[in-house]
Structure 1
Amino acid sequence: MSIKNDIAMVREELNSEEKFFEKAVITEKFIKKYKNLMIGAVVVLVVAIAANVAYSINKQSQITAANNALSTLSEDATNSEALLTLKSISTELYDAWRYSNAVAKKDMVTIKELTNSSAVMIGDLAKYEIAQDAKDAASLDSYASTQDAVYKDLALVQSAIILMNNSQIQKAHEKLAKVSTQSSMSKIANALLHYGVK
């Protein structure tokens, strides 16, 4: 009986070793077949990680350079080198700098140039400044009718005030009725509707 058990154990060991070698041969064939593909995938992964790290470092470097240029300009607005650096690194930040200076100096020529800014917010604010400077209800209405205008409700209130000053009360009330109820200008619009010239 013990010999039978020994033979069965030896047979099981041989079967398990045979299966192990069979799997090893299959794995070896698989590795040989796809070796270049696996090496390529590892190389692509390493290159992608390196490119991502290099991009992040470059982006951070640009942000630091733009901040330094802006800091220099805040101390000395006439520094042309810092202005050129800012323009080459970030056109949106450059336009924001130009806009803030133009508003402070009431430079309508520069503000008019900025209406086509690549920075959407700067372009919108420049359009509002142009409409407000015209002191004309039609210009303010034109601005307020643009989609996503930042100062839409303010432009409507200013337009209504101009119309009230020109004794066009009905048109002024129509403008005030367009002011959004969620707007901070709604209280002013309501006050003008109820207590303004009737």
Structure 2
Amino acid sequence: MSIQDDVKYVKSELSGDEKILESAFKLETLYKKYKLLIWGAAAAVLLFFVGTTAMEAIRDARLADANNAFLTLQKKPDDASALKTLKEKNPELFELFTFSQAAKKQNVAALKALTSSKNEVLADSSRYVTATLEKKETESKLYKEMAELNAAYLALKAGNISHAKEKLELIDERSAVAPIATLLKHATLKAK
């Protein structure tokens, strides 16, 4: 019996090895059939990761250059090379820096140029500051109540009391500018 058991064991081992060899041959056939596709997919995945890493490195370098230029401009606002670098490497930050400098220097021409900015916050701020410097009324999403207060002041100054009252009524009592609006309302009472 022992020999028969050994024969059965050897047969089962051989059939297991045959199955492994058969699987290996199938895998080899499959590999030969789709070799180009497999290597192409592997190359595409590798190129994707290499490309992503390269793009991130380029973006990080651009941001580092722009940040260095911005830090230089904070110390020396008239540094031409830093302005050029900032404009090339980070146009949005360049616009913001230009706005801050134009507002500080009350440069209406530079502020007017920024009113067409793609950045809506910067464009709205530029319109508001430009109108304030030119002593004109304006509409503003960011400075709505300040624009209404400015319009009321300009109307009072021009002697248009009714228009000033209309503008002052648009300012919410909970607003930070409400005390100033209240003072201007009292000025409209005296102006009658």
Instruction: Give the TM-score of the pair, scaled to structure 1.
Output: 0.79
Identity of counterpart residues, as a percentage? 28
- 2:104 match: 104
CA contact under 8 A between 1:157 and 1:189: conserved in structure 2? no
Pairing 1:186–2:175 present: yes
Alpha-carbon spacing, 1:115–1:69, altered in 2? closer, same or farther (3 Å): same
**Distance in 2, Cα, partners of 1:19 & 1:78:** 79
What are structure 1's unaligned runs of at least 5 residues? none
Alpha-carbon spacing, 1:157–1:56, altered in 2? closer, same or farther (3 Å): same
Q: How does 1:109-128 map to 2 (within 5 A)?
A: 109-128=109-128
- 1:4 match: 4
- 1:196 match: 185
Matched residue pairs, number?
184
CA contact under 8 A between 1:111 and 1:130: conserved in structure 2? yes
Alpha-carbon spacing, 1:113–1:131, altered in 2? closer, same or farther (3 Å): same
What are structure 2's unaligned runs of at least 5 residues? none
1:163-185 per-residue CA deviation (whole Å, 9 max, x = no partner) reads: 56632265135422xx4x8xxx6
Amino acid of the structure 2 residue aligned with 1:175: L
SS in 2 for 1:154: helix
**Distance in 2, Cα, partners of 1:92 & 1:155:** 25
After superposition, the CA RMSD in angstroms is 2.6
Q: How does 1:118-157 map to 2 (within 5 A)?
A: 118-136=118-136, 139-140=137-138, 143-144=139-140, 149-157=141-149
CA contact under 8 A between 1:92 and 1:118: conserved in structure 2? no
SS in 2 for 1:116: coil
Is 62-71 or 102-111 further displaced after alignment? 62-71
1:59-105 per-residue CA deviation (whole Å, 9 max, x = no partner) reads: 11111211222222222222222212221222212111211111111
- 1:167 match: 161
Is 28-37 or 99-108 further displaced after alignment? 28-37
**Distance in 1, Cα, partners of 2:142 & 2:77:** 27
